[in-house]
Amino acid sequence: MVKQHIRTMAYLAQTALLITACNGDDTAASSATETTTGTATESSATTNDSATSGSTTNTSEDSTTSTSSATSTTEPETTTGETDSTTGGDAADAFRFTEMFVRDPHFFITPILGCEDITDKGILGSPAINEQFNEAIVTDLDPQDGFLNMSFMLLFRPLDQAAANGSFEFATGDCTAPIESSSCDIKAGTEAAAGKYTNLADVCLEPIPGELSSANYEPKPGSATGPCFRGDPLSFTLDLGDFKLPFTDAEIAAQYVGDPADGMVEGVIHGFLTEEDGNNTILPEDIPLLGGNPISSVLPGGEGNCAEHDDRDMHMGVSGWWFYIDFKAARVEYTGE
């Protein structure tokens, strides 16, 4: 469903461009008064003390403690591959994402004329990107195969909220429909990213001002407050259909709901997409207008992007984009072996 909407959006944009071109030719030939116009969305030029604006790359050092390097790689460790049999089994406490929103940076394209932010605003009859993601999380469509279209899971082996720390994994899941009675396993042919988590009573993860856009997007990224967990930095690819985000130094945190927890709120994914990886991650060729272009082309500061501001950051000497993604999750039956 995510792919279908993105393709529809791009196709309608391409059709509109053709109509605009035809109308322009007709006007030149016959001086007709009817014209096709486009609307441009103007990004806010407001700049905070810790983020730069215009075409300047953000250079503030992040304060996130990291144990892994941000050196770019075109093939980072991802959630694709075979699962580790040593960490499988029904001992896992599983939580499936029930909603998810990209908060920073935003996605920009040129649909007809001007520049449109499609993150939270639909265009040409197609839903916004975040709306498409959340539709895929709760529905079994395109194809209707008995599994929810998009599933991400946190697996704790096991979850011990009284302990100082423990082991957890982030995984792409195969979760049965409907969502109300869903059960999940790690998606066949994929591999979970594994690490350690720490339990905290106060703040687990909050936005770093210098990493946020000078465009001051609303709503702003949230914070994970206690009682909560914070995971060690991981490398994985967040597969969002046509949008694939290969993250390095990605931290995940969320607040527990209950003890033992039956859900999680105030969830945050904080991950770095290097500019090199963004340039080497290509959108499928069959997407009109966007096909064959890198994912970096829809991010402010990326080559060919229409936005007037630049959302790029620097992390350990490498240029790229710090992503903030908010989520909620609910406990789900885990059927993995």
For residue range 221-248, list pLDDT tens digits in order: 999 999 999 999 999 999 887 778 999 9
The per-residue pLDDT for 3 is: 52
What mean pLDDT value characterizes the chain? Answer: 80
Q: Look-up: residue for tokens 């620097």?
A: 314
- The residue among 170, 162, 109, 149 whose CA lies nearest residue 297 is 109
Max CA separation in the chain (angstroms): 78
3-state secondary structure of 19: helix
Chain-centroid distance of CA 337 in Å reads: 29
- Joined tokens for residue 316: 């350990």
Say if 166 falls within a structural domain: yes
Model pLDDT, residue 159: 97
280: helix, strand or coil: helix
Domain assignment present for residue 55? The answer is yes
Residue 211 is encoded by which pair of tokens?
């990493």
Residue type, 61: E
pTM of the model: 0.77
CA distances from 61 to 79, 215, 317, 322 (A): 28, 19, 9, 12
pLDDT in tens, 27-72: 343 333 333 333 333 333 333 333 333 344 454 444 443 334 444 4
Residue whose pair of structure tokens reads 């939580």 in the numeric block: 95
Q: What is the mean pLDDT of residues 163-171?
A: 97
Tell me whether residue 19 is in a domain. no
Q: Which two tokens stand for residue 261?
A: 């927890």
**Centroid of chain to Cα 129:** 10
Q: Which pLDDT belongs to residue 28?
A: 40
The number of CA neighbours under 13 Å toward the Cβ of 143 is 2
pLDDT at 168: 97
Q: What are phi and psi of 329, to 5 degrees?
A: -145, 155
Decide if 120 is inside a domain: no
How far is 233 from 106, CA to CA, in rounded Å? 23
Residue whose entry in the numeric block shows the structure tokens 């080559």: 303
Residue 239 lies in a domain: yes
Work out the pLDDT band at 184, boundaries 50, 70, 90. Answer: very high
HSE (side-chain half, CA atoms, 13 Å) at 295: 25
The CA angle 315-316-321, to the nearest 5 degrees, is: 15
Domain residue limits at 156: 48-106+152-334
State pLDDT tens for residues 134-161.
999 999 997 899 999 999 999 999 999 9
Return the pLDDT at 288: 66
Q: How many domains does the chain have?
A: 1
How many other C-beta atoms lie within 10 A of the C-beta of residue 109? 20
Neighbours of 243 (CB within 10 A): 19
Q: Is residue 139 part of a domain?
A: no
- Backbone torsions φ then ψ of 279, nearest 5 degrees: -75, -25
Q: Does residue 54 belong to any structural domain of this protein?
A: yes
Residue 297 falls inside a structural domain: yes
Q: Average pLDDT for residues 107-125, to the nearest whole number?
A: 89
